[in-house]
A and B are shown apart, each in its own frame.
Chain A
Amino acid sequence: MRFLRISLLLNTFLNKSNKAKFLKYINIGIFFSVFAISSALITFYIENKIDNLEYSLSETHILQKQNKQDIDDFVQMKVLLKSIVVTDKAITDLYEFTASTKLGQYLITVDDLYLPTLFIEGQESAEMFKEMTEDGLWEELQQLVSEWFGKDSEEYKDYSEALESFYKNIDVYKKDYEKYYDRIFNYDLNIVADEILTKEKSINYFDHEFQKDNDKLEILLLDMFILFEVMEKFFFELSLEYEDDISEYNKEILELSNQESKIIIVAFIFQFLVFIIIQYFEVLSIQPNKLKNAKRKSK
């Protein structure tokens, strides 16, 4: 049974005389399709490689974005700490100076100067510090610093010293300053007025619990500043590493793209040569038949 009669269709276009010509066109068509297939396969292969690289590049971009966010957080915390340490210290110094005068010793008490800071810090930061310390965050970061800068580095030394001092003073956050709420928000002016008549709570003795805790808090904040500074340096260096990785990935992707065009050109030249050689042999194989036919005709 004949299902297909392609020959009938082709017969309308072909006749015996231009078969060779038609074969030549088909060969050219085959040559181009082979070239197209090989180009597509090369593209497929290279694209696959580029795709993997782009995936890694995207991952690095995300890491870099997170890293920049960390740097931004550290910088902000550092600025905040610095402003607290510097501004508060300046104001405390001024009050302490005033308190050392004849009148000042009656006007400024430990409740006035040190308790508010301890009260506010105790309320706002205690939980955060508790979480940071309990989760072992500082130790994890110390490990990072050690791995990155080395145990003999200045950074590791600074970090370790600051952390040691930090733990010595962290107990300031363990105290409950909330119990002093009524002393802070005291609306009874008789109590305030009575303070004027005595030096009992004067800040000049440097022996009050609040004063000692305030000193601890100052040291703690300075230690925190050092810890943040080292971490900021670490994240900046990490950011440079990510930058290098990103530029490396970009370079590799660009190289692969260029390589793709080059391979396709080489494949084209190679296939063209093969096509020429095949065509040559095909022509040679047809030639003796033609000669035989010519001789037969001349006879």
Chain B
Amino acid sequence: MRRGNLNKISYILIVVSAIFTIISYVADQLVIRYENKLRLNKFNYQNLDTEIKSLTMVSKSLTSLDVESSVIVGRELRQRNFWIKNVILFESDKERFVNHKKKINILVNQDFPIYNIKWRARQSTRDLTDKVVEIRNSYRNIFKESIFNNIDFYSIDDFNENLSGRDWFKNNSEKFFNVKNWDDITSLLNSTEINDMDLRDWSDIRNFRLLIAEILFNETKKITPLIEYLDKIIEDKEYDLEILFFETKKINSYKNYFVLTGIISQILTLFFLLILFRYLIKAKII
């Protein structure tokens, strides 16, 4: 072998080094591509995670309001007749009630017990109205969430309209004797002297409470499918999130493998070059 000439082994070593250099380059490029994929996946993951948290919050808030509404309606329905029956029995001057009082020998001589019942009935009506307004406002706050913009089986406008109180008295005029509008009921509940209120006024208050309970009950009933719909979306999105999580994990693993492959290839390139130099020196080519 002449000095300065490369032989077959030298060429093989050079080709092997070149192959590992190419592998290293390819691995580096793949790392860059997978890094981009990873960034995109992480971005999607975070967005989806935030979306799920937001939807879960909406679903939980709706569930809480649904339960609260049901409790209010349930309590209201249980006591819907109790106090008015007392008022009728003790205030009515109809003969049948006067006789009945005598028959059962219940005589209330003092004014206080019946005044107490009336005072509490009026007070609890105010409380009920406040509670329903609070619940309505809480619902309205939740309905501001963007998810409700795409729901076609539930109308937020109907909800707002039904719980706005507009036309309540106009549409239910047959249920009231004296009350024709909000001013009348507000006056009955706040400014009119209890002793100046007659049985018709108390009847109106009783029916006003029942009307509130009925409207709240009907609106609450419509919330349940909404919660079910949200829970279904959350479930689907959680499944997507899980897939995305494992996909991200997989991409990350591949990226790590390519990084390691790149490192190993670079070292192997160096290794074969060193072997080449060693061979060149040993074979006295240089």
Chain A residues within CB distance 8 Å of chain B: 2-8, 10-11, 14, 19, 22-23, 26-27, 29-30, 33-34, 36-37, 40-41, 43-44, 47, 51, 54-55, 58, 62, 80, 88, 91, 95, 102-103, 106-109, 111-113, 116-117, 119-120, 123-124, 184-187, 189, 192-193, 195-197
Contact = CB atoms under 8 A, between A and B. Distances in A.
Contacts of A192: 81, 84-85, 88
Interface stretch (B29-37, B99-107, B130-138, B155-163): B99-107
A190 to B, nearest CB: 10
Contacts of A47: 256-257, 260
* Dominant SS among interface residues on chain B: helix
Interface string B262-286: 0110011011001111101110011
B8 interface: no
Query: Which among A27, A51, A102 has the greatest number of chain B C-beta atoms within 10 A?
Result: A51
B126 interface: no
Contacts of B278: 23, 26-27, 30
B78 A112 contact: yes
Contacts of B268: 33, 37
B242 interface: yes
Given A43-B260, A197-B100, A14 B245 contact: no
Contacts of B84: 189, 192
Given A37-B264, A43-B260, A196-B97, A29 B274 contact: yes
A123 B221 contact: yes
A95 B83 CA distance: 12
Given A80-B67, A195-B85, A120 B256 contact: no
A29 B77 CA distance: 90
A193 B277 contact: no
Contacts of B217: 120
B237 interface: no
B82 interface: yes
20 contacts: A6-B6, A7-B286, A8-B4, A11-B286, A14-B281, A19-B281, A23-B278, A26-B278, A27-B278, A51-B256, A54-B249, A55-B246, A106-B89, A106-B100, A107-B89, A108-B82, A117-B74, A120-B77, A124-B221, A195-B85
Contacts of A7: 3-4, 6, 280, 285-286
A184 B85 contact: no
Nearest to B14: A4
B251 interface: no
Given A30-B278, A54-B249, A55-B249, A102 B77 contact: no
A33 B206 contact: no
A165 to B, nearest CB: 24
Interface in B200-255: 203, 206-207, 210-211, 213-214, 217, 221, 224, 242, 245-246, 249, 253
B210 A185 contact: yes
Contacts of A58: 245-246, 249
A124 B221 CA distance: 7
B125 interface: no
A62 B85 contact: no
Nearest to A102: B104
Given A116-B77, A192-B85, A192-B88, A62 B242 contact: yes
A196 B224 CA distance: 37
Contacts of B221: 123-124
A123 B77 CA distance: 14
Contact of A124 (B85, B213, B224, B242): B224
B270 A33 contact: yes
B77 A187 contact: no
A248 B270 CA distance: 40
Given A41-B264, A58-B245, A103-B104, A112 B281 contact: no
B21 interface: no
A30 B274 contact: yes
B188 interface: no
Given A2-B6, A5-B4, A196 B73 contact: no
Contacts of A8: 4
A192 B264 CA distance: 90
B271 A187 contact: no
A51 B250 CA distance: 9
A215 to B, nearest CB: 16
Contacts of B207: 187, 189
Given A37-B268, A192-B85, A62 B245 contact: yes
Given A40-B263, A51-B256, A55-B246, 11 more contacts: A14-B281, A26-B274, A30-B274, A47-B257, A91-B78, A95-B82, A102-B105, A106-B104, A117-B74, A120-B217, A187-B174
Contacts of B256: 47, 51
A62 B203 CA distance: 58
In this complex, which of A23, A34, A58, A103 has the most chain B Cβ atoms within 10 angstroms of its Cβ? Answer: A103
Most buried by A among B70, B78, B214: B78
A111 B270 CA distance: 92
* The 7 A-B residue pairs with the shortest CB-CB distance in the complex, in nearest-first order: A116-B77, A33-B271, A7-B286, A187-B175, A10-B286, A36-B267, A7-B4
B49 to A, nearest CB: 12
